[in-house]
Chains A and B, each alone.
Chain A
Amino acid sequence: MAVPETFFNIFPTWIGVYGLAITMFSISFILFYKRVITHISNSIYNLDFSNIETKFKNVLTNGLFQKKVLQRTSFTKDRSGIGHVIIFISFLSYALSYILFIFADSINSNFSKVVLGTFLKNLYLSYLEILAILVFIALITALIRRWILIPNRLKFSLTKKPESIIIIVLIASLMLTHLLTESVNHLIKPETAYSFNFISEYLSKPFKSLNYDINSYILLHDLFWWIHLTIILSFAVYIPISKHLHLLVSPMSFFFGNTKSSGIIDTPLNLEEMETFGANNLRTFKPKQIMDFFACAVCGRCSEVCPTNLTDKELSPMHFINNLMQSSSKTEEDLNIGVIDNQVSKTEIWDCLNCGACVNECPVGIEHISPIIDMRRHLVMEKSEMPKTAESTLLSLEQGGHPWRGTTFTRSDWHKDLNVKTISDNPDAEYLLWVGCTGALVERNQKVIKSLVKILNSANVNFAILSNEETCTGDPAKRIGNEYLFQILANQNIQNFIKYDIKKIITHCPHCLNTIKNEYPALGFKAEVINYTELITKLIDQKDLIPTNETSKTVSYHDPCFLGRHNKIYEEPRDIVDSIPGMKRMEMCKNKDKALCCGAGGGHMWIEESNEKRVSHLRTDEFLETKSDTLAVACPFCLQMFEEGISAKSQSDKEVKDIAELLEESIEENK
């Protein structure tokens, strides 16, 4: 890259470069500041800088190494991640080249040669040219993909805005002007050693055939060069006003993002002193949430996997985030009115199943669930507005300590005739088996807990239960948005854990697992909390449990959102199924972290869906496609949802069973 000596003989290059750069970067910075930084700093909450090491690692893994961008890449099905990586690498590579070849070299034209050495410099230039070609290919595929082929996730009007084309054109013209500059450069400077810029050399041929004199070529070169610089700097200004903002904001989102489980919702400990509960405008959203609103690259991956979007409900995560971003351009007055019922509807807020599929897919680090819960908190704790069934669930939690209003069971009924000891009778038990409200109080789910108890007994596990001293973990309250009620219930349980000096807890229900393991530490409780499948696989490995009874059933396992995606437990349930002699297991089309929610998360076990299409039926259809006899589940909500789904589709020869039930059948006569 050769830097012109002057700007067409008017003034030295460095004045032009730095003058233009400073102007454009300042404009860009001011735009960025006004659009994004002011809102982040206006939030009534502070940034959280704890766990800095993990935060940096997150930026490296997902930002620099593009982990999430590439996580779904498959040469046959989805190549868009590769395209983005190419453009990303070229962005970084060219940025470096600008520092060296434009900003440094415009002051002292030998700078880059001295720093890199001629060989490395030419190699780098060659590399840049190859990148340019690759970028062209990537851009053309992107264009065809977004505007002609239009895959599912790009079918929206939001994804077809002119913005995308402008960005493609800008990048393409950057590559083009670079190549043009380099091509003409060949005709100015003599051949040097280590020159292997084949592409630009090839492209110089048409220019050579014009047979200009050298000064004309110099003019042409300088023209291309200055145009290239102008486009770079215009791009810098375009970034903060377009979705290309994700360049700047996404690393921030990754930095301040969740470092532990995606199933965690924050637990504010100062409810009494809070100025306002939850969030309804940019002042009351948290800095990380505000970053998320601006980080969106409008790629559509979240909406493509969102169960509510797949059932045509109002909520579509991508639109949701973009609408919240739009609220930033409102006046102070409008800001005070709030986003709910303006940029975001109550239906959307209540639609969310908290399944985390969106968060899992998002390549720029947006955590969509977090603002939804904060808006629910605003509705529930500030305004007392919520769906009727959610209200009666909260009432049931307040009065009875469980969400199952109308149950005629008490927590001790299911184990009346079983060999189970309470913790007060067996204070030295190694494990506390946390039964959960559903397992204790809903008839179909009681069968599962009974199976689990039989299994634990047959392996001589020393466990005890709290029985009537158990009260709901508080998860439904937290997810519906009543953080106050959650903390009351959680603290009650924690008091009991302390009273009985509980160190190890086995849970059946994944929601209980997530809450006790991931949320309770914020309230000061730490213990080893495991899911029953984790213990059982160990027992099978140790031969304390030996499944003997053969079966000819074919089984498909459905990954519960709160066991799989949020807590990354995928293999253990599968291992248990595989250990049962004769049982054949078939994976469903969307499995592990891609599994489709059963429809009961986010409080939806007790909230009606906002339209006729049921998420559970969609997933049931996916199960039926496998043609397996049995749908294996590991969550009491999934069990209920799928039994209803199967019966609604009149598939009476199919059954839904918990992993514990399947295993118990296999060790039945084995005592």
Chain B
Amino acid sequence: MKICVCIKEVPDSDVPSNKLRIDQENNKIIPIENVSSIVNGFDLNAVELALRFSENYDDASISIISIGNDLTSDVIKKPLAMGADDIITCEDPIIDKLDIYGISFILSKIIEKTGPYDIIFCGRHASDFDNASTPFGISEILSIPLINIVKNITIKGEKLLIDRVITDGFQTIEADLPLIITTGSQVGDPRYPTLRGIMDASKKEIKKITLNELGISELSIAPKIQIEKLYFPENENKVEIIKGSNNKEKAINLLSKLKEEGVI
């Protein structure tokens, strides 16, 4: 059972918005102080689901695939510390400037080259640009069916039973391999890596592939959609802080205001 999980290194999404700044040159949003980057939250959910799925098979292997520019080895090795087997990356400055087509294309090529995989896991979207599209790109390029926002997978004989999250509910889907699965937080918390996992992971080599080795020319992935500018939107909102010498007074003041305006 060959499994792969695509992950992305992103700025820490827990940093509050008032502590972010824009890097205009690279069209990126980064924290003001040096906060370490993380593996995209939903991608860790994908790793968690992949690990759980792999426990059904004796011969399962999980490969992690990640592309980017100047990746931080400690950060992207976290899935290895959690239990994945190996990691393959492609790093190149041009990747920072690509759109979802370029990204999907490179990922698909890596999957082809290091595959074939029985099942591919991805996070539903990355917390930096929220496109939620790359997995669909891989699905179309490699012609593998995709099921999105999956919570759980159970094995039923030759088929898989997949719990998918929809608005206000769940769906159970029956499908065959190969498949692409995207995950949200409904999978559950990603397991905390054991210390042995961390130590073993730090000793593992990252397998690096270049764009050349993948046979990808810069032209073939030239972006069709360009980001011209990133900015923090102007906020003209003016909040009125309700005054009062104690909570009771503040409550009374607030409610009378809301009543006056017909809100309640």
Q: Which A residues fall within an 8 A CB radius of B?
A: 271-272, 277, 380-384, 386, 388, 391, 394-395, 399-400, 405-406, 408, 410-412, 468, 482, 484
Contact = CB atoms under 8 A, between A and B. Distances in A.
B195 A381 contact: yes
Contact of B14 (A271, A405, A482): A405
B57 interface: no
Contacts of A484: 195, 198
A468 B33 contact: yes
Interface in B162-202: 189, 191-196, 198-199
B32 interface: yes
B91 interface: no
B156 interface: no
Nearest to B17: A408
B40 to A, nearest CB: 13
Contacts of A400: 12, 14, 35
A134 to B, nearest CB: 56
Contacts of B199: 272
Contact of A408 (B16, B32, B38, B196): B16
B35 A384 contact: no
Contacts of A394: 192
A410 B193 CA distance: 27
A380 B32 CA distance: 32
Ranked nearest first, the 6 interchain pairs of A and B with the lowest CB-CB distance are: A381-B195, A408-B16, A384-B192, A384-B194, A484-B195, A391-B192
A272 B195 CA distance: 10
25 contacts: A271-B195, A277-B195, A381-B195, A382-B194, A382-B196, A384-B192, A384-B194, A391-B189, A394-B192, A395-B192, A399-B14, A399-B36, A400-B35, A405-B14, A408-B16, A408-B18, A408-B19, A410-B19, A410-B32, A410-B33, A412-B33, A468-B33, A468-B34, A484-B195, A484-B198
Contacts of A406: 14
Interface in B1-48: 12, 14, 16, 18-19, 32-36, 38
A412 B32 CA distance: 11
Contacts of B196: 382
Contacts of A405: 14
Given A386-B192, A482-B195, 15 more contacts: A383-B194, A384-B191, A388-B189, A394-B192, A399-B14, A399-B36, A399-B38, A400-B14, A405-B14, A408-B19, A410-B32, A410-B33, A412-B33, A468-B34, A484-B198
| Main DSSP-derived SS at the B contact region | loop
Contacts of B35: 399-400
A230 B185 CA distance: 73
A283 B155 CA distance: 41
A76 to B, nearest CB: 47
Contacts of B189: 388, 391
Nearest to A388: B189
Contacts of B195: 271, 277, 380-382, 482, 484
A399 B44 CA distance: 15
Interface string B199-239: 10000000000000000000000000000000000000000
Contacts of B192: 384, 386, 391, 394-395
A400 B19 CA distance: 13
A405 B34 CA distance: 16
Max chain A Cβ within 10 angstroms of own Cβ: one of B35, B195, B198: B195
Max chain B Cβ within 10 angstroms of own Cβ: one of A380, A381, A391, A400: A400
Contacts of A384: 191-194
A98 B260 CA distance: 97
A343 B195 CA distance: 25
Contact of B12 (A380, A382, A399, A412): A399
Contacts of B16: 408
A400 B34 CA distance: 9
A383 B195 CA distance: 9
Contacts of A383: 194
A357 B97 CA distance: 60
A383 B36 CA distance: 26
Contacts of A381: 194-195
A499 to B, nearest CB: 16
A406 B193 CA distance: 22
Interface string B55-98: 00000000000000000000000000000000000000000000
A394 B192 CA distance: 9
Contacts of A380: 195
Contacts of A386: 192
A395 B39 CA distance: 13
A280 to B, nearest CB: 14
A411 B34 CA distance: 12
A410 B192 CA distance: 26
Contacts of B198: 484
A380 B196 CA distance: 11
Contacts of A482: 195
Contacts of B36: 399
A490 to B, nearest CB: 16
A500 to B, nearest CB: 18
A400 B18 CA distance: 16
A377 to B, nearest CB: 9
Nearest to A407: B16
A391 B192 CA distance: 7
A468 B196 CA distance: 31
Contacts of A408: 16, 18-19
B18 to A, nearest CB: 7
A271 B195 CA distance: 10
Contacts of A272: 199
Contacts of A277: 195
Max chain A Cβ within 10 angstroms of own Cβ: one of B34, B192, B193: B192
A412 B33 CA distance: 10
Contacts of A468: 33-34
A266 to B, nearest CB: 16
A167 to B, nearest CB: 45
